[in-house]
Structure 1
């Protein structure tokens, strides 16, 4: 199906949607514990994400003062290292840095270019400014504008993060399309009136039966075609 919806800008989640975040962290865990088997690696990856999700929730719900993603990632790395029995502080810092050396999905850069030829494209990420710059540089992602949740000292799905995109673009929320592979992210965008597009990735949070998003795409390349780009 090809459609030509009328949007003023396309807003993209970055981690998971544009780059393979779990893959980068997984490589970091394997470097930390080279003889670990796949099951052990996946268990430590879950430990990382559990910590990040818990702490972002604590911050979003006001139970912890704001800490940027660099701080939270270092905490997650320390927690993983402790669980693996590794006490080397340099190794912990190296693991924390793996969250910034993330490979793009094969279609991310070319499809982003296609979409950018027709619409303003904006990155909107929970990553802080410094790590987000490194992520985008490593992945070769070129945006018209990049926004970090650090600017509002909160984390998606807090509404103020999505409102940052609305305020910065100066457009009505219904004129903005939020693109993500995380259904929870799209629900947050819907809550402030943005339009939504779910993109399938090997990682992420798939929609529930009750979810209803404006667009659904098999890939970012497919989304570019839906949006009517060449």
Structure 2
């Protein structure tokens, strides 16, 4: 039986690439959005990897986002401090996918639902409010000073759920996220999103779904 459901947030419940693209376009009309979005994403991934490897001390996502915004500003010639500061908080204003809020509301009537995110506490708080995501509890990697796929985050979710890992379902649009959850003993469900990381042929997740509506029916049958 499933006793608790844990959702990845960035990319799974909200459109992270689309929201960042909009924020960059607002700050830099007419700019090459693909190039600048890639610059932001590469910086974040690189710094999170450095932290995982011990080459950099843990830094909250708000700090790394501010660095990414400054890199974009330097690259594109943006000099307005207010515009750069606003761009740095773009992760707080990402739009929810069309089925996210309703699925959470419906599932929360039957099972504990948790968010598990690399976003810092402040970003996660404001993002949830902006996107209309209502959790029983939202967990940030800031609580364990690590970024997914570090095992500490999945242990945090399991400990918070208060039940054996095989009774906790991790839902994500990223196969790399689910592989790490699986290694921690959690059940896993992949949800297809436009900018997700699809499973490989070798992946054996407990479920694969085209959207949260499909997942909801399956979880409520077995929960």
Give runs of ≥4 in structure 1 deviating > 2 Å: none
In the other structure, the counterpart of 2:24 is 29
In the other structure, the counterpart of 1:88 is 80
CA distance in 1: counterparts of 2:201 and 2:71, whole angstroms: 34
Which secondary structure does the structure 2 equivalent of 1:227 belong to?
helix
Alignment partner for residue 135 of structure 2, among 123, 143, 152? 143
Alignment of 1:50-129 (within 5 A): 50-129=42-121
Alignment partner for residue 195 of structure 1, among 187, 194, 203? 187
CA distance in 2: counterparts of 1:192 and 1:61, whole angstroms: 20
In the other structure, the counterpart of 2:169 is 177
Q: Tell me the alpha carbon deviations over residues 114-137 of structure 1, each in whole angstroms, 9 at most, x when there is no partner.
A: 211221100111011111000000
Which secondary structure does the structure 1 equivalent of 2:220 belong to?
coil
CA distance in 2: counterparts of 1:11 and 1:128, whole angstroms: 17
CA distance in 2: counterparts of 1:68 and 1:194, whole angstroms: 26
Gaps spanning 5+ residues in structure 2: where? Answer: none
Report deviation, 1:202: 1.1
In the other structure, the counterpart of 1:3 is none
TM-score where L is the length of structure 1: 0.93
CA distance in 1: counterparts of 2:80 and 2:51, whole angstroms: 28
- How many correspondences in the alignment? 221
Gaps spanning 5+ residues in structure 1: where? Answer: 1-5
In the other structure, the counterpart of 2:8 is 13
TM-score where L is the length of structure 2: 0.96
Please say if residues 2 and 219 of structure 2, whose CA atoms lie closer than 8 Å, have aligned partners that are also in contact: no
CA distance in 2: counterparts of 1:85 and 1:199, whole angstroms: 38
